[in-house]
Structure 1
Amino acid sequence: MRSALPHPDACENCSTALQGDFCHQCGQSAHSPVRSFGHAVEEVFESFWHLDGRIFRTLRQLLLPGRLAAAYLGGHRTRYIPPIRLFVILSVLTFFVARLVVHVDAGSFISQTPTPPEVPGAFRDATTNEEVEQVRRALLAPLQRSRDTLPEALRKPIDVAIAKVDKQAARRQKELLGLPPGTSAPSAAKPAAPPPRVVPGNGKDPVDIGFLPGFANRWLTGQADIIRQNLPRISERPQLLVNAFFASVPSALFVLVPLFAGLLKVFYLGSGRLYLEHLVVALYSHAFLCVALLGILLLSMLGGQLTTVPAAGTLIGIAIALLLLWMPVYLLLMQRRVYGQSWLVTTIKFTVLGWLYFTLVTAATVVLAIASLARI
């Protein structure tokens, strides 16, 4: 579609005389998308396909360990998406898909909590009240241990299971005593209830960490109080916690990636590379990890749709396992290619660096999970 409007003589952006369809001074097109619908549509699709082509070209190189980072650091930059932009696109996309794929609901949570086995048969085998009590204690012990590990707001499924065991024990005792069904039986001795647990931040037990300043402890106390109030909502809708966690991960990565670049700078002090060059390596490393995680999520989603296809679950499980194994191998090969040191030195540095960074990621995950509880 071409516009019938006359071609302008000067660039509308910088007033430079035009000698073609683009200004040689600032690069702006001579065609205005706001004056021609055809040019507006053309500009949209041109921009889309131009960006799309760069993304696919960049991803092809990214899948080869160290190829993209080495090319970018070697000066070949115009053909590829800049590392920070690529990382932002992939991290946001990956954890958006994670929120769609990973589902946890109250029903699945309750189904995963410990429940007593089919106990009526066990109680029927008991011929005395003492044997009934022994069976009861054996069934209640694992349930009570599980109950003690959960927050107060999440103990309801366990309490229901405990009440069921007590009811079955009382029924069997009545049968042994020959009492009619509506008659009360001697109540079985129940284990002593644990003392009420005081949650930090509820006004009774404020957070007080000695090495932190007062304002930090007050802030933590407030966050703990918010978490305490959110626990009933999480017990009913645990997906809220999952969504809050995945929504926070990209922000956490913006802290972890520069830290990883700092570790690279320390481990490769003699390489002559600047910190920003190590940051490029860190960005491309995490971009690949996002691609691999995205592949795992999509494979998991595909497996959920192919439950009726024979052997599909096995093949998808093998593919996911191979992806998980390839992730550290890829990073090792990338480190070897970019920095060019011997395999022995690279392997030693990769192992120590990986252990340090894994510790940081683990700590960040714990902090992020706790922070997500307060953001719901």
Structure 2
Amino acid sequence: MNDSEAVAQTLCDNCHQSVEGAFCSNCGQSLDSTLKYFWVVILHLLDDIFSFDSRASRTLWPLIFRPGFLTNEYFAGRRVHYVPPLRLYLFISIVFFLTLKLTVSGEDQQTIEMNNNKAAITQVTEHIKTLNEKKLQAQPTPDNKNIASIDADLARFNRYLDDLKLDISIAENAKLVSTTRQLATIELERVKLGTDDKSNSITISNSADGSLSFDFLSDESNKKLDDSAKKLAEKAKKTFTTDTNRLINEVLGKLPQLMFVLLPIFALLLKVIFIFSKRLYMEHLTVALHSHSFIFVSSLSIDLLDVAHDHVKALGGGFATVAASILGFIGFALLIWIPIYLFIMQKRIYKQGYILAFFTYGFVGIIYFILMALTTVVAIVWGLTEI
């Protein structure tokens, strides 16, 4: 070996063996170091994004409009031209839940809107008028509880009205008026929803005395469980009767994780129901990934179409009305397409006749609906514990 060959020889940093190519034939380590300049890492990241997009153009169209095509292609070994199922699901689910959270948080969760002081005064005045009418129609009871309750509401809303009529140009009054608006909004929302701290309550129990307990737990464990249930019920009551926006954001934050846990369970369900299809569990998991990716991308499209419909309709005019109608029709058509797509996908992948496919599709749909309901309950309970 001459000097030039010695200089050209490359050694592996891990096992110090001679390397020809990009990877060490002895230990498999790449010669490409992970310690690079920051701009080089950014360039690699952009390259990954654009390589994803190049395959995404060949993946998204069949994902939405060709039921079962991607899954059958994957089973047949033709995978290089398409985004892998797991990567596709992760990318779409992240975009879907982020967009959903933004659109939901952008909306006012309270149905009563007080944009200015005049609107607030008008709504509170109308409610005082309603309370007075209710007082005149109320049947007095021996202890006058009905009239006393209405009088208490009248006193509270009259106080709100006095505060709202203050001069908001004064700094101290401006803060008071702002707070009063929020309190009045909560009170009016509670009245509109028909909720009342005294008459309505949320309980979590499985016995006549209103407690939560299980025979297989000790008395001490049952007491801790019941105490936790009562605290959770009280927290739920306060949340549902005031501002649900925070709970909704918490639930949307938990759903991606819970949906990822639901995927293998759904794949197991497919494995049991289609046991005679002789498909491997990983094949059923691929079906679950592709079907959920389709549901998410369709739901995302419907949500964006709905937002666009509202904005276009708000512009007014004949053209805006026609454009809004078209957007609404596309969203409705896409909503109808979801169950049709999933039926065709199941039929093509598991190669069933129409009658058998119809019954198995209905059975899978019922079980999946139950699983989704349980997942939603878990997300709500989990969200309440974080508030």
Normalised by the length of structure 1, the TM-score is 0.68
Change (3 A) 1:354 1:35: closer
Higher mean Cα deviation, 303-312 or 101-110?
101-110
Aligned-pair distance for 1:290? 0.9
Deviation at 1:289, TM superposition (A): 0.7
Q: Deviations over 1:39-75 (max 9, x none)?
A: 5554333333223323343323322210111111222
Among 87, 90, 93, the residue aligned to 1:91: 93
Q: How far 1:335 sits from its partner (Å)?
A: 0.5
1:291-325 Cα shifts (integer Å, max 9, x gaps) = 11111222223234322133333222212211111
Contact 1:69 1:281 (C-alpha < 8 Å) held by counterparts:
yes
Instruction: State how far apart, in whole Å, the 2-side matches of 1:55 and 1:220 are.
Output: 51
- Determine if the alignment matches structure 1 residue 250 to structure 2 residue 256: yes
Matched position secondary structure for 1:310: helix
How far did residue 103 of structure 1 move? Answer: 3.3
Contact kept? 1:9, 1:17, Cα under 8 Å: yes
8 Å Cα contact 1:257-1:279 kept in structure 2: yes
Structure 1 unaligned spans of 5+: 1-5, 145-153, 163-192
AA in 1 matched with 2:53: D
**Aligned counterpart, 1:23:** 23
Change (3 A) 1:49 1:158: closer
Q: What is the distance in 2 between the residues matched to 1:218 and 1:267?
A: 40
1:67 maps to which of 51, 66, 69 = 69
- Residue 109 of structure 2 contacts residue 243 of structure 2 at CA under 8 Å; is this kept in 1? no
Residues 14-57 of structure 1 show CA distances to partners (whole Å, capped at 9, x for unaligned) of: 6554545x337488775657566775554333333223323343
How large is the RMSD of aligned CA atoms in angstroms?
Answer: 4.3
Give secondary structure in 1 for the equivalent of 2:83: coil
1:259 aligns with 2:260: no
Task: Summarize the Cα distance change of 1:266–1:44 in structure 2 as closer, same or farther, 3 Å threshold.
Answer: closer
Change (3 A) 1:207 1:15: farther
Q: Deviations over 1:203-256 (max 9, x none)?
A: xx8741446745477346425414524654665542111111111111221232
Q: Structure 1 pair 339/305, CA: closer, same or farther in 2 (3 Å)? A: same
Question: 103-112 vs 89-98, which deviates more?
Answer: 103-112
Q: Give the AA of the match of 1:327.
A: I
Q: Which moved more, 1:50-59 or 1:274-283?
A: 50-59
CA displacement at 1:282 relative to structure 2: 1.1
List aligned pairs for 1:129-278, cutoff 5 A. 132-133=136-137, 156-157=187-188, 197=201, 207-210=211-214, 213=217, 215=221, 218-219=224-225, 221-229=227-235, 231-232=237-238, 235-278=241-284
> Which whole-Å CA distance do the structure 2 matches of 1:69 and 1:374 have between them?
39
SS of residue in 2 equivalent to 1:248: helix
> Comparing 332-341 with 343-352, which one deviates more in the overlay?
343-352
> Which whole-Å CA distance do the structure 2 matches of 1:237 and 1:195 have between them?
19
State the alpha-carbon separation in 2 of the partners of residues 38 and 134 from structure 1.
Answer: 75
**Pair 1:54-2:55 in alignment:** yes
In the TM superposition, residue 95 of structure 1 has moved relative to its aligned partner by 1.0
2:37, 2:380 → 1: CA distance? 51
Residue 348 to residue 196, structure 1, CA distance change in 2 (3 Å)? closer
Flag structure 2 segments of 5+ consecutive residues without an equivalent: 1-6, 115-122, 141-145, 151-184
Return the offset for 1:283: 1.4
Specify whether residues 54 and 18 from structure 1 end up closer, same or farther in structure 2 by C-alpha distance, changes over 3 A only: farther
Structure-1 residue corresponding to 2:163: none
Name the SS for the 2:321 alignment partner: coil
Q: 1:53 to 1:371 in 2, by over 3 A?
A: same
Q: Give me the whole-angstrom Cα distance separating, in 1, the residues matched to 2:211 and 2:366.
A: 31
Query: Is the Cα contact below 8 Å between 2:24 and 2:31 reproduced in 1?
Result: no
Provide, for residues 254-279 of structure 1, a one-character-per-residue CA deviation record: whole Å limited to 9, x for no partner.
Answer: 23222222221222121111222111
Q: Residue type of the partner of 1:326?
A: W
Is residue 8–residue 30 contact of structure 1 (8 Å, CA) maintained in 2? no
* Counterpart check, 1:343 vs 2:358: no
Q: CA offsets, 1:310-359, max 9 Å, x none?
A: 33332222122111111111101111111111122111211121122112
Change (3 A) 1:39 1:97: closer
CA contact (8 A) 2:202 2:234 kept: no
Closer, same or farther: CA 160–206 of 1 in aligned 2, 3 Å: closer
* Aligned counterpart, 1:279: 285
Matched, 1:370 2:381: yes
TM-score w.r.t. length of structure 2: 0.66
Tell me which residue corresponds to 1:172.
none
Aligned to 1:170: none
Moved more, 235-244 or 216-225: 216-225
2:105/2:249 contact within 8 Å kept: no
Aligned equivalents of 2:53, 2:278: Cα separation in 1: 35
**Counterparts of 2:230 and 2:8 in 1: how far apart (Å)?**
65
Specify the code of the residue in structure 2 equivalent to 1:52.
D
CA distance in 2, matches of 1:74, 1:336: 17
Q: Does residue 309 of structure 2 align to residue 303 of structure 1?
A: yes
Shift of 1:135: 11
